């Protein structure tokens, strides 16, 4: 195998693997499958199997209805291999003759992708009608060792399955023997078939069959020129087979050669020299195999890499569909119902209490004893104050109960908004979004979703949630700022000595029992160091922003961690609502939409694109790449 073949084979295998992987990732984009696309069929049924060996050619006899294809096939075979009749016998399935031992050295299933292979035992087997794409084959001693010879179904019939089989044969074949007649050389279906063959740069031999000689000597050059101009085919050989039924049946038709110069078909000059006979099988066997094979495979590769109809077009399709999904995803993701600035803030007093509790747990020894004692006195005084306040103004609602009510109202309003927007989306009738919106709206009713959310919301232990967050954040403060934390502990130790004075001063000013008023006294300079750190009022003043103007670096760091508690709490509650909606309403649809948008940025997509560049530069642009190989023997 040549180095060009080896390089092409390796890159084509990489392309096929990457394309297959990309197809799997692209299922979210709802594209049509690769199977059935012309470029993909060429990739799988021509390039992939036949790049393993350039030592043989697949020769297919093709043409329209009732023009004697099987007769020509039998002459190539050297025997009456295929059934013939004066009537249209109608070959339904391709038949193939292979040289002895070929099937032991090669994988016929790989060569003839798209067909179900069967052993061929009788000449008329291929006339039987079956819905499957069958290909019958058998070994023939008369077949040259470097050829696989096929007889094929009509390419111009009104049965669609025949067109599919003919297309499969065209993809598999290296050389096409185009059997034409006066009636069929300009047939629309025939020309369409050979236009595709010309685009793939197939090697074509033209046989004008059933020619009346010498009467048609003046006409066949016109037929040939018209056929070539209409299809773009440039034949390697042109033959004339006379209308002689007996000779056809007895496998002894003469093939007169007609010469066509190797120039573009629309400017071609045809020499009328019909009196020299040639052996059709010998001419095919003498073709320059390597050039023909490389030319055919390169032709197929050009079709695969065609910017408008091949792999690049498929990549463009993925990019366009990905952009469409991005628009849909953006539309759905605007339904984010948990914006942090919309969330009600957790009461500062609750966080302050948890911070104080955590700090108290860090104390030990005499410091703990002093602070605990005076905190007990403060709680007693505060209890008396609260009792009097409750009798005068009524017992206030606990802060967390108020927060629970405000949060639920926010959740209720947001869910209502979500359903309103989903209904608006449904009215847009976007083909990509519509099925998903209908799936969401049909999955759970609005009232049922609100019931589920309300029940789960009522079960939430906000105090425990805040306690866990405070513990995590204060531990982070201890770890991230160990020097500041130690400094605060020293102040706390020192404050234990002045705590009796602090408590007395706070009490006589009327601020001691009222925790809500502590921050006003704490703002006084005389208590800023001792009173705030000792009594825990730093946390209280931070919660009310009073400490923002403090010059102390340690207090500023402490404030930052305190404020982060609010942010983390809101984020945690946002995630909770997102999880609930994702589970009961969205059911993964936004994630699916988002995943679809990133397919054009995937590794498989880039691998396909990179492989295209390599194939274009190293295979198609390599020396000797011409549209017409030296295999032309005109």
Nearest alpha-carbon partner for 202 in 4, 92, 39, 46: 46
For residue 213, give the DSSP letter: T
**CA dist., res. 457 & res. 439, Å (int):** 25
Is there a single domain that holds both residue 262 and residue 387?
Answer: no
Task: Inform me whether the pLDDT recorded for 538 exceeds 70.
Answer: no
Dump pLDDT digits (tens) for 590-632.
777 778 888 999 999 999 999 999 998 887 775 544 444 333 3
Nearest alpha-carbon partner for 53 in 285, 293, 283: 293
Dump pLDDT digits (tens) for 412-464.
988 888 888 778 777 766 677 677 777 777 777 888 889 999 999 999 999 99
Tokens representing 255 are 């093939």
pTM of the model: 0.53
For 494-517, what is the mean pLDDT?
45
456 and 603 Cβ atoms separated by less than 8 Å: no
Q: Is residue 601 part of a domain?
A: no
Is there a single domain that holds both residue 446 and residue 552?
Answer: yes
Nearest alpha-carbon partner for 291 in 634, 618, 626: 626
* Residue showing tokens 């010309």: 198
Question: What is residue 283's three-state secondary structure?
Answer: helix
Start-to-end CA span in the chain (Å): 27
Cα-atom radius of gyration of the chain, to the nearest Å?
43
**CA dist., res. 630 & res. 23, Å (int):** 39
- Residue 122 domain boundaries: 55-287
User: What's the domain count of the chain?
Assistant: 2
Is there a single domain that holds both residue 278 and residue 353?
Answer: no
Q: Is residue 9 part of a domain?
A: no
Is there a single domain that holds both residue 374 and residue 455?
Answer: yes
Tokens representing 486 are 């130690």
For residue 344, give the DSSP letter: P
Q: Is residue 107 part of a domain?
A: yes
Q: Is residue 616 part of a domain?
A: no
Nearest alpha-carbon partner for 516 in 340, 353, 304, 334: 353
Is there a single domain that holds both residue 401 and residue 283?
Answer: no
Q: Is residue 3 part of a domain?
A: no
Residues in the chain, total: 634
Q: Is residue 316 part of a domain?
A: no
Is there a single domain that holds both residue 91 and residue 193?
Answer: yes
Q: Is residue 83 part of a domain?
A: yes
Is there a single domain that holds both residue 257 and residue 366?
Answer: no
- pLDDT score recorded for residue 537: 38
Dump pLDDT digits (tens) for 133-148.
889 999 988 888 888 9
Is there a single domain that holds both residue 493 and residue 353?
Answer: yes
Is there a single domain that holds both residue 406 and residue 264?
Answer: no
Task: Inform me whether the pLDDT recorded for 362 exceeds 50.
Answer: yes
State percent of the chain over pLDDT 70. Answer: 72
Here the CATH number for the domain that contains residue 169 is 3.40.50.300
Is there a single domain that holds both residue 245 and residue 331?
Answer: no
Which of 255-259, 383-387, 485-489, 516-520 shows the highest mean pLDDT? 255-259
**CA dist., res. 149 & res. 99, Å (int):** 9
Q: Is residue 320 part of a domain?
A: no
Is there a single domain that holds both residue 563 and residue 433?
Answer: yes
Is there a single domain that holds both residue 259 and residue 381?
Answer: no
CA distances from 100 to 105, 251, 410 (A): 10, 22, 82
């Amino acid at each position: 195998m040549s180095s060009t073949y080896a390089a092409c084979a390796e890159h084509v295998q990489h392309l096929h693997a990457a394309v297959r992987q990309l197809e799997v990732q692209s299922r979210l984009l709802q594209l049509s499958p690769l199977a059935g696309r012309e470029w993909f069929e060429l990739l799988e049924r021509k390039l992939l199997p036949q790049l393993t060996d350039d030592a043989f050619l697949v020769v297919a006899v093709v043409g329209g209805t009732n023009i004697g294809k099987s007769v020509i096939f039998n002459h190539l075979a050297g025997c009456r291999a295929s059934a013939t009749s004066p009537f249209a016998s109608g070959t339904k399935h391709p038949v193939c003759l292979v040289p002895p031992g070929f099937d032991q050295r090669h994988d016929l299933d790989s060569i003839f992708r798209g067909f179900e292979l069967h052993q061929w035992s009788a000449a008329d087997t291929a006339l039987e009608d079956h819905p499957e794409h069958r290909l019958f084959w058998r070994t023939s001693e008369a077949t040259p060792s470097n050829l696989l010879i096929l007889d094929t179904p009509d390419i111009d019939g009104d049965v669609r399955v025949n067109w599919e089989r003919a297309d499969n044969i065209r993809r598999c074949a290296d050389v096409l023997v185009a059997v034409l007649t006066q009636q069929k050389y300009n047939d629309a279906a025939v020309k369409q078939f050979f236009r595709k063959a010309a685009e793939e740069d197939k090697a074509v031999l033209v046989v004008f069959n059933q020619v009346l000689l010498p009467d048609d000597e003046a006409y066949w050059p016109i037929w040939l020129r018209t056929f070539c101009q209409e299809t773009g085919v440039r034949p390697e050989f042109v033959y004339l087979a006379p209308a002689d039924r007996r000779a056809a049946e007895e496998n002894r038709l003469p093939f007169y050669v007609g010469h066509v110069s190797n120039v573009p078909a629309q400017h071609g000059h045809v020499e009328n020299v019909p009196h020299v006979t040639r052996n059709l099988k010998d001419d095919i066997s003498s073709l320059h195999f390597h050039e023909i094979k490389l030319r055919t495979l390169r032709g197929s590769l050009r079709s695969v890499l065609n910017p408008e109809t091949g792999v690049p077009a498929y990549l463009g399709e993925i990019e366009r569909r990905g952009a469409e999904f991005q628009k849909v995803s953006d539309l759905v993701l605007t339904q984010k119902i948990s914006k942090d600035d919309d969330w009600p803030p957790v009461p500062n007093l609750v966080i302050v209490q948890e911070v104080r509790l955590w700090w108290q747990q860090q104390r030990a020894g005499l410091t703990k004893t002093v602070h605990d004692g005076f905190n007990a006195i403060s709680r007693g005084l505060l209890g008396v104050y609260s009792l009097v306040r409750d009798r005068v103004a009524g017992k206030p609602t606990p802060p967390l109960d108020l927060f629970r009510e405000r949060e639920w109202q926010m959740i209720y309003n947001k869910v209502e908004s979500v359903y309103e927007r989903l209904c608006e989306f449904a009215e847009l009738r976007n083909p990509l979004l519509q099925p998903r919106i209908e799936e969401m709206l049909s999955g759970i009713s609005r009232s049922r979703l609100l019931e589920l959310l309300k029940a789960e919301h009522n079960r939430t232990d906000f105090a425990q949630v805040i306690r866990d967050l405070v513990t995590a954040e204060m531990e982070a403060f201890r770890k991230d700022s160990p020097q500041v934390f130690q400094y605060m502990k020293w102040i706390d130790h020192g404050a234990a000595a002045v705590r009796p004075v602090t408590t007395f001063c706070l009490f006589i000013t009327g601020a001691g029992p009222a925790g809500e008023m502590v921050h006003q006294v704490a703002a006084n300079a005389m208590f800023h160091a001792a009173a705030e750190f000792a009594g825990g009022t730093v946390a209280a003043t931070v919660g009310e922003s009073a400490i923002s103007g403090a010059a102390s670096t340690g207090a500023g760091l402490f404030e930052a961690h305190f404020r982060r508690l609010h942010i983390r709490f809101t984020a945690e509650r946002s995630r909770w609502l997102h999880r609930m909606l994702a589970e009961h309403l969205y059911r993964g649809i936004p994630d699916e939409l988002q995943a679809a948008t990133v397919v054009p940025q995937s590794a498989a997509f880039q691998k396909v694109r990179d492989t295209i560049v390599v194939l274009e530069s190293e295979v198609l642009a390599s020396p000797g790449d011409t549209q017409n190989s030296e295999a032309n023997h005109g």
